[in-house]
Amino acid sequence: MSFHRPEGRPPSVGLIGVRGYGATYVHELDRLAGLNRARFVACADMVAPAGAEAEVISRLGTHFFTDWRHMLFGPGAFDIVVIAAPIHLHAEMCLAAFASNANVLVEKPPVVSLEDFEGLVAGSERNGVLCQVGFQSCGSLGLRRLRGLVAKAELGEPVRLVATGQWQRDRAYWSRSEWAGKEALGGALVRDGAFSNPFAHAVMNCLWAVGAGVGDAVRAVDIERYRANRIEVEDTGCMRVELVNGAEFVVAVTLCAESTEAPALHVRGPRGTVAWKYEGDALSFVADGRCWEEYFDRRSLLEELLAVVAGHVGSGHLSCPLGRTRPFVEVVEAVHSTPLWDVPAEYIRWEGEGDGTRAIIVGVEAAIRRAHGTGELFSELGIPWAMRSA
């Protein structure tokens, strides 16, 4: 069995992780195989796929492995390896894929420490391969439009950027795997908190929108972390990030909301406001006395990497190369060096039963709305359960 790419054939792809978010890549590879842009030759997971994913793998003749190492170090070789695995395994899997001379697309967050990040950069450069990170919203042309209007001061100056998110997560979510809600597992960092996993896009979108570069972009981070659930990381929090280039943004999010609201990036300037709900690709403007929406397409990050590996475009075509995520990892390091505060019991309401039980922090939605409106952190707003961190 050989997965090397013969002349004229599309790049070969191996996928680590076919369940959870990995199922998305199974269907994306099915689409790309149908367009003759990829050959989905192998995949690996501890449990055999079922349902629609099993049908795709069978129909395409994709080899299935129960151990990712057997897939990666078997007789075949891959042009690209996609990694949709638990956070604490990303570094080991990426380095192994680099050593096999495969280019990599790794799901977000790539890693959660600067030490691991620098190791990935060195491994990628040593083996002369590329690494794209699965911050899918970085492929949105809407985000590019947002970045342009910030850079060109289309809403006037100064502008304020605030990312918000209100989701609900129940007991089943926090017990979905052995690494859920953990700071570390088996000596490896997990850091499965609201900022670094569920709302990682909120942080990365802000960094992208204000033009954070690939070097030391972060000057200062003021962070407040809270938890209502019995976990090792934050389920609620806010932060203010100041960059070396002078830009600043605020992120205010919770997984303990009474009602859900789509995550959004808001930009406010003297001439008006714009909001981007990044799960879609529309910008909503209120400016110069009128309201309107602009709609955009989104580029597939895997399709971008395939085009580069196939030689159709240069590496500059990648929307989220590994180097661009360094400021994100800097922020994650800062988050997890900050105290974690327990929300007092009198401000928590529990709803549901069994695995559907979920915590609601009283007043958290109002706190997020006020942070959005003022750019202030929870403690600065005088929220009664908020604590100021040094």
CATH number at residue 156: 3.30.360.10
Low-confidence ranges of the chain (pLDDT < 70): 1-7, 214-216, 388-390
Separation CA 212–CA 151 (nearest Å): 12
- Is residue 280 domain-resident? yes
Say yes or no: 329 and 259 in one domain: yes
Say yes or no: 104 and 237 in one domain: no
> At 124, which helix (H) or strand (E)?
helix 114-127
- Is residue 309 domain-resident? no
Say yes or no: 131 and 148 in one domain: no
Count of structural domains within the chain: 2
pLDDT at 7: 60
Separation CA 328–CA 336 (nearest Å): 13
pLDDT at 75: 73
Say yes or no: 203 and 282 in one domain: yes
pLDDT at 212: 81
- Is residue 166 domain-resident? yes
pLDDT at 389: 58
- Is residue 113 domain-resident? yes
- Is residue 271 domain-resident? yes
Say yes or no: 102 and 168 in one domain: no
pLDDT at 216: 64
194 is in which domain, residue-wise? 141-296+324-374
- Is residue 6 domain-resident? no
DSSP structural state of residue 344:
P
Say yes or no: 127 and 150 in one domain: no
Say yes or no: 163 and 275 in one domain: yes
Say yes or no: 116 and 173 in one domain: no
Question: What is the tens place of the pLDDT at every residue in 157-205?
Answer: 989 999 999 999 999 999 999 999 999 999 999 999 999 999 999 999 9
Separation CA 362–CA 275 (nearest Å): 26
What are phi and psi for residue 122, nearest 5 degrees?
Answer: -65, -40
What is the per-residue DSSP string for 139-181?
GBHHHHHHHHHHHTTTT-SS-EEEEEEEEE-BHHHHTSSTTTT
pLDDT at 6: 56
Say yes or no: 131 and 173 in one domain: no
In the sheet that holds 80-83, the strands lie side by side as 63-65, 39-44, 12-16, 80-83, 103-107, 131-134
Residue ending a domain, choose from 86, 102, 137: 137
- Is residue 288 domain-resident? yes
**C-alpha torsion 294→368→329→273, nearest 10:** 30
